Chains A and B, each alone.
Chain A
């Protein structure tokens, strides 16, 4: 996928639409009810919730930080690698929803864009680390920071940068791991396929 990255800048329409949609869902909780990941409703046939649940947030603070990161990384990626970016966010959203459904039967509801944002941060860091120069160290530090955060959450069972009970939900670090795995797969798979061909 990295092979199709170009330097052509384009208007980041997808990023702005998703970010605006996330804000609109916060302002219209009635609409969120129809889009949030809800295991019972998904099993009853409302399969769109597997993907749309990522755009639903449970508080303004939850939405604010996720949407800020999504917007920044999204504009950066969409302007320089639109096609891989669209594959990245689509595959991560679908993979996340399916993993929750199959492997996490106790999780009744899920909302939050951070799984998708994790995929974007990892993919962006991997792209930028291909460039020569000192900025590689900075992008490497971002990857290390991300790995440390997810590792801590898995070991300790609570969010690294949030006080216990500060959020109206339990942070699901598995969403971040799924995002990172999809990003790594989309970044490394094309060159691996080329090598084996």
Chain B
């Protein structure tokens, strides 16, 4: 655990000082997922509900 913490600290310093040497890549064989997320879902529900309410009011 001491080694892990030390390595993490060294990596943090390296990322700050020489970001050009760090490249984030996806490893082969990863699992992908389709997820719109709760935030998007809630905002969509709010906006769509408002649109439906406005639409009904116009029809009346």
Chain A contact residues, CB within 8 Å of chain B: 54, 57-58, 61-62, 65-66, 68-69, 72-73, 76, 96, 100, 104, 106-118, 121, 128, 131, 133-135, 138-139, 141-142, 145-146, 149, 157, 159-162, 167-172, 175-176
- Supposing A131-B55, A134-B54 touch, asked if A100 and B32 sit within 8 A by C-beta, the answer is yes
Chain B contact residues, CB within 8 Å of chain A: 24, 26-41, 43-45, 47-48, 50-51, 54-55, 58
B-chain residues with CB within 8 Å of residue A112 when the two chains form the complex: 33-35
- Supposing A108-B29, A142-B47, A145-B47 touch, asked if A114 and B34 sit within 8 A by C-beta, the answer is yes
In the assembled complex, the CB of B3 is this many whole angstroms from the nearest CB of chain A, namely 22
- Supposing A108-B30, A110-B34 touch, asked if A160 and B55 sit within 8 A by C-beta, the answer is no
Across the interface, A114 reaches (CB within 8 A) one of B26, B35, B58, namely: B35
Chain A residue at smallest Cβ distance from B26: A106
B51 contacts A162, CB within 8 Å?
no
A138 contacts B34, CB within 8 Å?
no
- Supposing A69-B44, A128-B51, A138-B47 touch, asked if A109 and B31 sit within 8 A by C-beta, the answer is yes
